[in-house]
Chains A and B, each alone.
Chain A
Amino acid sequence: MAMSNGIVVDRRRVSAVIADDEPLLRAQLRARLGRLWPELAIVHEMESGRGVEAVIAEHAPRLFFLDIHMPGVNGLEAARAIGRRAHVVFVTAFDQYAVEAFERGAVDYVLKPFNEARLAETVARLRERLATAPAAMEALLELLAARAEPRPAEHLRWIKASMGQNVRLIPVDEVLFFQSDEKYTRVVTADGEALIRKPIKELLEELDPDKFWQVHRATIVNVDAIASVRRGLKDQAEIALKGHRETLVVSRNFTHLFKQM
């Protein structure tokens, strides 16, 4: 080890980056690693996985400690971006699925809060592993990502309706029915109703077709809100709703929806 002007120049030194959104936890990991692995140099700290490319370009670290849960770009996404350019150690507070997957995939991970002995083991293993090339872990990452991120919803979940100066957010599950009313569309819930500009036709494209049925040119009903369906006048039928006095007309073109019920 050679020292010059207080700056350590040592070929055996290992450069590493810590990514965690909580400042105290970054400081903690840095302090613990400092004790257990003196040759390790934390060259950079990140609050999220954003900007991994720039960090690699600037510091070329050999090791990343990635918190899995971070806002913006999370640890799994960051690991995917890193690829095989550096070794990755995941840091997580609690994630049963992830830990199981790590065990099977032989990926290094550290649990928060840290256990000194466990961290020392990880450090020992990492020292050995650094001699080899970083392992590919795309398959594992994909598996984890599928579990971690809720799939983006395909259907409309919230209705935004102006009420005076406020914008009311109504979950679609609470809506009993939508009914077009000349210029507007009525959104009726058990608590009251609101008017929106979105026409029935557009709503129909965005709502979950398993939960919302069109029963009339001007009406979409929440299937869960239907109390009973009665034969009505002409070829129509009539829907009674749970917890609401209005009845809805099912026009002839849509009565087939209820034929087998």
Chain B
Amino acid sequence: MTRYAHLFDGLTPKRVGVVSLLCLWAAASTVWFFKNTFLDLLVSALCVGYTCMVFFTVATNLQQRRVPPWVAQVASIILGSFAGTVLTGLVKGRDIATMFSERFFGVLITMSMGIGFGCWAVWIYYHRQKEARREAELAQARAERAQLEKSVLQAKLALMQAQVEPHFLFNTLANVQHLVETDPPSAARMLESLIQYLRAALPRMREEATTVGREVDMAKAYLEIHAMRMGSRLAFAIDVPEALRAQPFPPMMLITLVENAVIHGIDPCCDEGSITVRAMDEGGRLRVSVADTGEGISPKKGAGVGLANIRERLKALYGGGARLVMEENAPRGVVATIEIDGMVPAAEGVPAPPAPAAVS
């Protein structure tokens, strides 16, 4: 039995109440026209009304795709009016045969009134449904916009809060402290890299928009410091075409990827690791990647807030037009790539490298 229970979904007390009221009103508003008593009309109306209601409910819940739902619903009202009229006859103790002969005119009237009021009720129901749906959609659109605004704000906050790791800072300074005594030129080099890194990384120095070139320089400064500190354990390469350096690029994303590559990739595992930073133009799509040959990602390794922040910020800045793609590096390690669709043509900003002499 429960197999068919779903057909009666929506047959709520509220619906029964609404139909009852409608019948009451239909009987009251037509009683002046007929010779019948109000009670007699009400019985007819309730019989037809309840039957139509049940038929309509079933028609609405039927899992069929042959006809549009409204066709099934109107058909259910016509059928329901017919069945309801027959039911009226039975309730009033009339003979079925006479109903379809002598009393046929009365039957026809009852039926048409059922169909008329029924279709009118369905029409109202239909519009109210549509209204409710539109309102729900509107509410959802509003919620989505609020969500987007929130994520834009959060992205800004994340950018402000991204920390310069105190651990990194103090360890680097300890190295400088030692080099000052033992190898002053190296100390100067390390300090220069540290200054360059801090210029870009300190929250107050950060800019909302920067370029590939500036972000790569910052990543390079960071990698130079680590290469000196880690000695033979870390080698790095930067492969960024001059023409791409002027491309706009969101701040602090590349450095996060590079930090991850050092801290979670090379540092935990390797005696000889390497990190490569690349930028390329792939048919109008800017791809900036950081590849390491480190530990790699195991399925249960924490994903880190850094990457989630990058994703949030890309979504807030570019919508669907940019993404962070993580892939396994071969034979080991991770490649993290930020892709931004629709590159700015290289005409503006930093002058492009000198064009080769024209061949005539």
Tell whether A and B belong to one assembly: yes
Binding site for B on A (CB under 8 A): 21-25, 27-28, 31, 69, 71-72, 93-95, 111-114, 150, 152-160, 166-174, 190-191, 206, 227-228, 231, 233-235, 242
Known: A22-B230, A153-B302, A166-B327. A93 touches B170 (CB 8 A): yes
Cα distance, A31 to B183, chains bound together (Å):
14
Given contacts A93-B171, A113-B170, A156-B300, 7 further A-B contacts (CB under 8 A): A27-B182, A152-B300, A158-B300, A158-B301, A172-B303, A173-B303, A174-B311
Cα distance, A88 to B168, chains bound together (Å):
24
Nearest-neighbor residue (CB-CB) of A171 within chain B: B303
Contact assessment for A233 and B6 in the assembled complex, using a CB-CB cutoff below 8 Å? yes
Contact assessment for A234 and B6 in the assembled complex, using a CB-CB cutoff below 8 Å? yes
List B contacts of A191 (CB < 8 A): 320, 323
Q: Which parts of B247-274 form the interface with A (CB within 8 Å)?
A: 267-269
Size of chain B's interface in residues, with CB distance under 8 A? 47
B131 at the interface (CB under 8 A from A): no
B204 at the interface (CB under 8 A from A): no
Contact assessment for B178 and A27 in the assembled complex, using a CB-CB cutoff below 8 Å? yes
List B contacts of A158 (CB < 8 A): 297-301, 303
In the complex, how many residue pairs between chain A and chain B have their CB atoms under 8 Å apart? 114
Nearest-neighbor residue (CB-CB) of B2 within chain A: A235
Nearest-neighbor residue (CB-CB) of B300 within chain A: A153
Contact assessment for A170 and B303 in the assembled complex, using a CB-CB cutoff below 8 Å? no
B157 at the interface (CB under 8 A from A): no
List A contacts of B328 (CB < 8 A): 160, 166-167, 169
Cα distance, A206 to B144, chains bound together (Å):
31
A91 shortest CB reach to chain B, Å:
9
List B contacts of A190 (CB < 8 A): 320
- Chain B CB count within 10 A is highest, among A158, A169, A173, for A169
Partner of A93, one of B174, B181, B299, B301: B174
B308 at the interface (CB under 8 A from A): yes
Known: A169-B334, A173-B303, A231-B9. A23 touches B323 (CB 8 A): no
